[in-house]
Amino acid sequence: MAEEIKITVTRYNPDKEAELKTQTFTIPYHNDWSILDGLNYIKAELDGTLTYRWSCRMAVCGSCGMMVNGTPRLTCSTYLNEFYPGEITIEPLANFPIIRDLVVDLTDFMDKLKEVKPWIIRKNKSDENDTSKEYIQTTAQMDKYYQQTLCINCTLCYAACPVYGLHPDFIGPAVIALGYRYNNDSRDQGKDERRKFLASEDGVWKCTVVGDCTEVCPKHVDPSAVIQRTKVDNATNWFFSFLKGKK
């Protein structure tokens, strides 16, 4: 008989239950199966009602993030062989409200993402529609923000961040990292506009540098470092505007 592996998943049906339940499935073990392959097997062969998000299967879309044995991971790029012959427990991403089974509500994240204005802002608004102008950028200038462009909005960092879990108003790692990405783009002029949000009471100052966001990031965006850099930047700005008598 072929080898098998046990997967325990969180079940929640808002129409029928008030509490979370777990259900354990035994599936065939394949060395080259990702956890997502395992979940797809369950849905196709064992229980069609299991609900979860996924799309690209190649760590680009950022929709299949779940808690794998307590750690936020992309299930498409986490393999069964990492755990075999042990068991695997899959839970919905921590710190977000659960909609059903393994699907969480990301509305809060999406609202905050909009708020940080993750696009290039020009002081002269007509620049934004003027396609005749070129904005040349050197590689050194691009290096300043390139790492943060890799963010795929998978929200693993939010699930890893106890500060977000404790204070849901906290802007959170990925959104600050994306603010940093545009603030450090030589073509952008929106730093002061974003500052109102990033340096607000629920902004960078809330971060206590636990550092887990950086550990779980599948794209090495390093949110924890850029949050601290944003603090340095905002503190410097604060002292300068204090000296100039603006405060």
Partner 1 sequence: MGLLKKINALEPLWWSLFGLGGMIAAFILPVHLFLHGIAIPMGWVSPDLLSYERMMSVLSSPYGIIVKLFLFSIISFPLFHAAHRIRLTIEDLRIGWLNTIMPLISYGGAIVLSVITIVVLFYKLS
Partner 2 sequence: MKHTDNSITEPTKTYRRIMPNTWWLKKGSYTLFMLRELSSVFVAIYAIFLLIRLCALSQGAEIYNSKTAIFNSGWMIALHAVMWVFIMYHMITWFKISGRIFGKKPLSPGLVTIANYIVWVVVSVVLFLIITKG
Report the b/e string of 148-172 with b at 16+ CB within 10 A: beebbbbbbbbbbbebbeeeeebbb
Binding status of residue 211 toward partner 2 by CB under 8 A: yes
Q: Please tell me whether the peptide bond between 92 and the residue prior to it is cis, using omega within 30 degrees of 0.
A: no
Using CB under 8 A, pick the residue from 44, 46, 56, 210 that binds partner 2. Answer: 210
Q: Strands, E, within 36-143: which ranges?
A: 65-68, 71-74, 88-91, 98-100, 103-104
Residue 183: strand, helix, or coil:
helix
**21 in Cβ contact with 10 (< 8 Å):** yes
Report what 239 binds from partner 2, partner 1, none; CB cut-off 5-8 Å by kind.
partner 1
Query: Which residues in 137-156 contact partner 2 (CB under 8 A)?
Result: 143-144
Q: Using CB under 8 A, which of the segments 27-35, 37-45, 47-55, 108-116 binds partner 2?
A: 108-116
In angstroms, what is the minimal distance from the CB of 196 to partner 2? 6
**Cβ neighbourhood burial of 24 (10 Å; 0-12, 13-18, 19+):** exposed
Using CB under 8 A, pick the residue from 215, 234, 237, 238 that binds partner 2. Answer: 215
Binding status of residue 119 toward partner 1 by CB under 8 A: no
In angstroms, what is the minimal distance from the CB of 170 to partner 1? 11
Kindly list the distances between the CA atom of residue 168 and the CA atoms of 39, 67, 157, 162, in Å, as whole numbers in the listed order.
Answer: 29, 19, 13, 10
CB nearer to partner 2: pick between 200 and 237:
200
Half-sphere exposure of residue 44, counting CA atoms within 13 Å on the CB side? 7
CA angle 240/184/193 to nearest 5° reads 60
Binding status of residue 163 toward partner 1 by CB under 8 A: yes
Q: Using CB under 8 A, which of the segments 11-19, 85-93, 174-182, 197-205 binds partner 1?
A: 197-205
Binding status of residue 201 toward partner 1 by CB under 8 A: yes
Q: Give the binding site for partner 2 (CB under 8 A).
A: 12, 14-15, 20, 70, 94-95, 97-100, 105, 107-108, 111-112, 115, 143-144, 162, 165-166, 169, 171, 196-197, 200-202, 208-212, 214-215, 222, 224-225, 228-229, 232
Interacting residues toward partner 1 by CB under 8 A:
162-163, 166-167, 199, 201, 205, 208, 231, 234-235, 237-239
